[in-house]
Copies of this chain bind each other. A is one copy, B any other.
């Protein structure tokens, strides 16, 4: 047991490094802080000794005195969803490169979050928080934040969170869904679609509400009938069943616009494998997100793309800008969408 304890690298403190290198403890601190002034040769010696002693500055102690945790909180309702897992992946990679670690919290399935959990998160003092969960309003979230300014994704109609107290500070990623939706509708119209169904996402989801609203608006502008709206929740199974119901109980449709790609997959499978209909000949299908699975041959989905790389860059920019200017007015980054044409419309 002792044998193992010996082998285990003991944590060295700055004091030990200082003693070993014959310098003051402050010098050690400076050696690890690039902008501090220190004779280069001395710094090198210190870093050398630090390596030998297996020393790493303690983030907790550092955080205590600097007020910066180097932690970015992410509140996620469902890590498994392909879109979110992609985003978490890319964001974590990007933040890692900037010296931040990702602190992951899971919200409940209905997009709400236990106040106890928020309180808990607060204790970690994250430098920034990204809420993938859309029904914790900024005011509420800010009540659980100290220095962190949260980032919210908003959509074409900028008035979202209008109910929020005006004094609440949060930064915004504006996603212009209109572009992509308009292109999709034009394509569907061009291929003769007349009776369209909208296969919704989670009712509480703002993204979903805005997609539905924008779709209706676009159809109206182009002189088309309002869509049949099917309740959904972004899952394959619900989409599958809703599609069956649409054709068995309802009057069917000649095009389905799904709130997300996974829902579109459910619709396609229901059409092809249970209703005996062809896609795109009998029914055209469009998705939203352009997740990697969208190009899989079984689906080959025509879909509205949100550019992930661009999105992540924008989020990282927001975080860095805010940390540099904690009291600045709200920042906004904008993101476009566009249609990716594959094989489910035509």
* Interface positions of A (Cβ within 8 A of B): 1, 3-5, 7-11, 54, 56-64, 69, 78-80, 82, 85-86, 88-89, 92-93, 96, 99, 101-106, 117, 119-125, 142-147, 165, 167-169, 236, 240, 265-266, 268-270, 272-274, 292-293, 296-299, 327
Q: Is there contact, CB below 8 Å, between B101 and A59?
A: no
Question: Using Cβ atoms and an 8 Å threshold, which residues of chain B touch A1?
Answer: 327
**Cα distance A70–B10 in the bound complex, in angstroms:** 20
User: How many whole Å from A74's CB to the nearest CB in chain B?
Assistant: 8
User: How many whole Å from A126's CB to the nearest CB in chain B?
Assistant: 10
Q: Is there contact, CB below 8 Å, between B56 and A122?
A: yes
A–B complex contacts, Cβ < 8 Å, 20 sampled: A1-B327, A4-B168, A7-B142, A8-B169, A9-B143, A9-B145, A59-B124, A60-B124, A61-B64, A80-B82, A85-B85, A89-B106, A92-B104, A92-B106, A96-B105, A101-B124, A102-B103, A236-B293, A269-B296, A298-B298
User: How many whole Å from A31's CB to the nearest CB in chain B?
Assistant: 14
Question: Using Cβ atoms and an 8 Å threshold, which residues of chain B touch A142?
Answer: 7-9
Q: Is there contact, CB below 8 Å, between B297 and A167?
A: no
For the complex with contacts A88-B104, A269-B296, 8 further pairs of A-B residues with Cβ separation under 8 Å are: A8-B146, A9-B144, A11-B146, A11-B147, A60-B69, A96-B105, A99-B120, A102-B104
**Cα distance A269–B298 in the bound complex, in angstroms:** 6
Most B-side CB within 10 Å, residue of A4, A93, A106, A299: A106
User: How many whole Å from A117's CB to the nearest CB in chain B?
Assistant: 7
**Cα distance A247–B47 in the bound complex, in angstroms:** 57
Q: Is there contact, CB below 8 Å, between A101 and B101?
A: no
Choose one: B9, B89, B103; the contact of A146 (CB below 8 Å): B9
Question: Which residue of chain B is the closest to A235 with respect to CB atoms?
Answer: B292
Please give me the 4 A-B residue pairs with the lowest Cβ-Cβ distance, nearest first.
A79-B89, A85-B85, A269-B297, A298-B298
